[in-house]
Amino acid sequence: MFDALLDNHLAFLAAHRGSVRQSAEAIEVVGESDEFSAWIPLSSDVEVPAEVRTVRLVPGSGEGWEDRLVAAGFEAAEVLVHMEAPAGSAVGELVEPIGSEADALGFAEVQCAAFLEVEEPDYDRWQQMFVKQAVQNYQEPDQSLYLLRVNGDPASITLVLRTGSVAGVYAVATKPQYRGRGLATRLLAQARRDAAGGRLTLQVVVGSDAERLYLSLGFRPAYRSPHFRRS
């Protein structure tokens, strides 16, 4: 079933990217930034609200949506693939989740270095959001934020969020100068350890380097989630 994987992803979005509202007809994700906002239909019979700019489809959305959305002025955008790792035991050294605000700030520092360019016009807004979410979430009992340091410098991170029997992997990132040292692989091994007895999942953009990496690490596609946008 795909629902447990989607529920995990929605829990991450609610905790780190905005808010999530669900009805019998649709799921509405209202992001702190527009790029995280989306409307997800849960039936082929519902109408797209006039104000919606991004529609995301999941297996429960029903048939015929692609043609309907194109006719309504939407254009196909990225496609996320929800992936799942096969059951198996983790190897490697145990990594403890962060337990201090100082490490939460280090976690946000790696996010900024890995995902942003200082020259970006929205750098300050993103940096503030990363800091706010790391500080807000690192003590939550359903989440484990992991940070590896190299000679004291925050170097590599990931986050594991648990919903039921599913452990979702998010925010996998390494500062450019520390890539190629196996740090992310060590953190993914810890995520696998966290998922022992359950399911391990993550989401990446179809065709990306990340998808190829996770395929090589044993993750396999569970389902695809196409996005459609209109201006």
Domain ranges of the chain: 3-85, 101-197
Q: Which DSSP category does 109 fall into?
A: H
Helical segments of the chain, H only: 3-16, 65-71, 101-115, 123-137, 183-194, 209-216
CA atoms within 13 A on the CB side of 155: 17
Per the CB < 8 A criterion, the answer to whether 148 and 187 are in contact is yes
- Would you state the structure tokens that stand for residue 134, as one six-digit string? 């790391």
* Average pLDDT of every residue of the chain: 94
The per-residue pLDDT for 1 is 47
Per the CB < 8 A criterion, the answer to whether 25 and 62 are in contact is no
CATH number assigned to the domain covering 101-197: 3.40.630.30
Using one digit for the tens of pLDDT, what is the confidence trace for 191-208? 999 998 899 999 999 999
The per-residue pLDDT for 223 is 95
The per-residue pLDDT for 33 is 78
Residue 170, pLDDT > 50, answer yes
Q: What is the mean pLDDT of residues 214-229?
A: 94
Using one digit for the tens of pLDDT, what is the confidence trace for 134-147? 999 999 999 999 99
Per the CB < 8 A criterion, the answer to whether 159 and 138 are in contact is no
